[in-house]
Amino acid sequence: MNSRVSQILAEIRHLEEELEDVINTQQVQLYYRIEGTKIRFEQSVRRAHQQLKTGIFRWLRESSPRNLITAPLIYALIVPFVLLDLSVTVYQWLCFPLYRIEKVQRNNYIILDRHKLGYLNVIEKFNCIYCGYATGLFTYTREIAARTEQYWCPIKHARKILDPHRRYARFSDFGDSDEFAEHFPKLRKELAPVSDQTTG
């Protein structure tokens, strides 16, 4: 891989760590902390949240008709979403051990916590659960697909693609057979579970 590409990837990792630090600082400023799986707000913040909550009837009255009409179409997508979730989960359970690929931890991608906010009413909380599940499912699925692509075909496309997954930058350049031959085994080995990498 080009040394400049490696340098840029290292800078991206550094910026991601810096962003995480900023987000952690912001948590303190917003008076909440994370304890395991629980989110704790200060009591004064919880009271303020309750005062900001919009009642269900007022929320429905003030909602755009187009939002109310299309809501059933959005909710109906839960069926293909659940089928996708089940399919990719079973796929990685069955195939990743055979390929010696580290499994994707579903709970690192599907995060459901916004419904715990006190300033949301029941409908808003349900919407937050639904959106958190859907967008989390897509990032979970994307990571499973990205690891599969890294295992089978870690080659960049000839044409530029919009918003490639984070593994894509390290793939071999299109048409560079020497780089592909050299890096293909390494990229496969990187996918192995940590226990395999330390013992093997």
Would you place residue 124 in the very low, low, confident or very high pLDDT band (cuts 50, 70, 90)?
A: very high
Q: What is the pTM of this model?
A: 0.77
CB of 92 closer than 8 Å to CB of 144 = yes
* Per-residue b or e along 61-76, where b marks 16 or more CB atoms closer than 10 Å to that residue's CB: eeeeeeeeeeeeeeee
Give the pLDDT confidence score for residue 40 in this predicted structure: 66
Q: Which residue has the tokens 């419904």?
A: 115
Would you place residue 115 in the very low, low, confident or very high pLDDT band (cuts 50, 70, 90)?
A: confident
Of 193, 104, 94, 190, whose CA–CA distance to 150 is shortest?
190
**Segment 153-179 mean pLDDT:** 93
Name the more confident of 200 and 150. 150
Q: Is the pLDDT of residue 126 over 90?
A: yes
* Rounded-to-integer distance, Cα 130 and Cα 136, Å: 10
Give the pLDDT confidence score for residue 42 in this predicted structure: 63
Q: Is the pLDDT of residue 82 over 70?
A: yes
Give the pLDDT confidence score for residue 185 in this predicted structure: 94
Give the pLDDT confidence score for residue 17 in this predicted structure: 78
Structure tokens at 8: 């840029």
Q: Is the pLDDT of residue 28 over 60?
A: no
Q: Is the pLDDT of residue 23 over 70?
A: no
